[in-house]
Amino acid sequence: MKRMQIGLIGCGTVGEGVARILLDQQEILKDRLGMEMVLKKVADTDTQRTRSVTFAEGVFTTDASEILEDPEIDVVVEMVGGTGFAKDAILKAMEQGKHVVTANKKLLALEGNSLFAKAFQKNVTIAYEASVGGCMPIIKTLRENLVANRIFAMTGILNGTCNYILTEITRLGLSFEEALEQAKIKGFAEADPTLDIEGCDAAHKLAIISAIAYGMEIDFEGVYVEGISRIEPLDILYADQFGYRIKLLAISKNHGDSIEARVHPAMIPVDCLLSQVGGSVNALSIFGDCTGEMMLYGHGAGMMPTASAVVADLADIARDMKREDGGRLPALGYPSKNIRKIPVLPISEIQTHYYFRISAADQPGVLSRVSGILAKYSISIMSVHQKERHASDAVPLVFMTHRAKEADVRKALGEIRELPEIGCDPVLIRIEDPQANGCAHT
């Protein structure tokens, strides 16, 4: 029976999960693939970590070059993360004619175009299913299952840390800081959660899947990013009263000659399935012209869910090796000659509905002045609500608008902020149209 020999670089949380599956599931993998998957070497500099796997003598090393320079190793699994050593290791592996599996969404979002070009040049595969959505087969779905579809839009919850925090604020009325601390205690947030709570992690993932969906180069710099650190329980309370939930959404829309790609908090109706995705779970709604609406749902992170996706990539490479058919599937789902540059619309050009909360002095004429400014910029008010005071003499004025252009909204809020009756910066939260974004309803 043919064997595929694997070198694993990085045996942290997910790397340990990969090793566990390869060692514990040997028989089922052999039965399904008709090939033996052999974990020949594992490299990690941390020799003090307690791991749930026991390696045979000579398998574990602190020197990654033992993997990269071993001619018998067919596939390198990169589980180090980051953009420094990980990039160098992947490039060296490809130079040696080795296939690569990675879950490194940051590296792919920033350097994926050049890495995929190198893989094509060397006739090797970079597999990266685990980089987006953990155990959810988002990459495979977009590249293979939806190959006959023009993708119109994708809307998703792609960061479990943010989803957990917003869920707990909604459920228990916690402050952002309290919910973040709880997420750290439960292991859903890193000691430094900046990449998660400021939206960068979700933006990395959105840049990757937008490229696959639309046949374009990865353009992380074009993705608008806004995190959840400014979301207050008061706005979550008002959203609930109006029939909405606040989620950190990753949104991508195909306009043909341009796309939208943005990550930010948004209000979505409570009868939208995405609004009911709670805790640390992820979900992605995809709208195709043939399939219509479909949704993927599952654990977007964690040792075993992510490791499962890594091993699925290894299985695909094994099947290709068995048929001597490497490079069967292009990295972004399109032949490299068909990958285009498609401009990403700046956030100023998008149009959607808006929620504003303005803290105003309780004086006659304030509402009319604010309404006049909104009218000046052609922003049509759908409803306005004067809410009860909260811990100050100021009165919260809450506006819900019809569709408006972001640039006009920013100008209007800039003028409103300068009114002497306005106590602090207005709060802006976008309201997403489920029909336009492909969000199914219950």
- Annotated binding-site members for L-homoserine: 190
Could you please report the per-residue DSSP string of 331-348? Answer: TTSS-GGG-B--PBPPGG
Which residues fall within 8 angstroms of residue 175, CB to CB, at 6 or more apart? 169, 233
Quote the CA–CA distance of 416 and 426 in Å, as a whole number: 8
- Interior angle at CA 227, CA 176 and CA 355, nearest 5: 85
- Output the known binding site for NADPH: 105
Place of tokens 């696959």: 212
**Inter-residue contact 138 to 132 (CB < 8 Å):** yes
Q: Is 425 helix (H, G, I), strand (E, B) or coil?
A: coil
Q: What is the dihedral of CA 204, 210, 215, 217, to 10 degrees?
A: -30
Quote the CA–CA distance of 179 and 184 in Å, as a whole number: 9
Phi, psi of 342 (to 5 degrees): -120, 125
Helices (H), 248-362: 303-322
Quote the CA–CA distance of 54 and 60 in Å, as a whole number: 9
Q: Which of 205, 322, 376, 387 is catalytic?
A: 205
Which residues fall within 8 angstroms of residue 25, CB to CB, at 6 or more apart? 311
Q: What is the dihedral of CA 236, 380, 261, 222, to 10 degrees?
A: -110
Distance of CA 8 to the CA centre of its chain: 24
Is 2 noted as a catalytic residue in this protein? no
Phi, psi of 220 (to 5 degrees): -65, -35
Residue 65's H or E segment, with its range, is helix 65-68
- Output the known binding site: 105, 190
DSSP code of 19?
H
Work out the number of other CB atoms within 10 angstroms of the CB of residue 308. 20
Q: Catalytic site residues?
A: 205
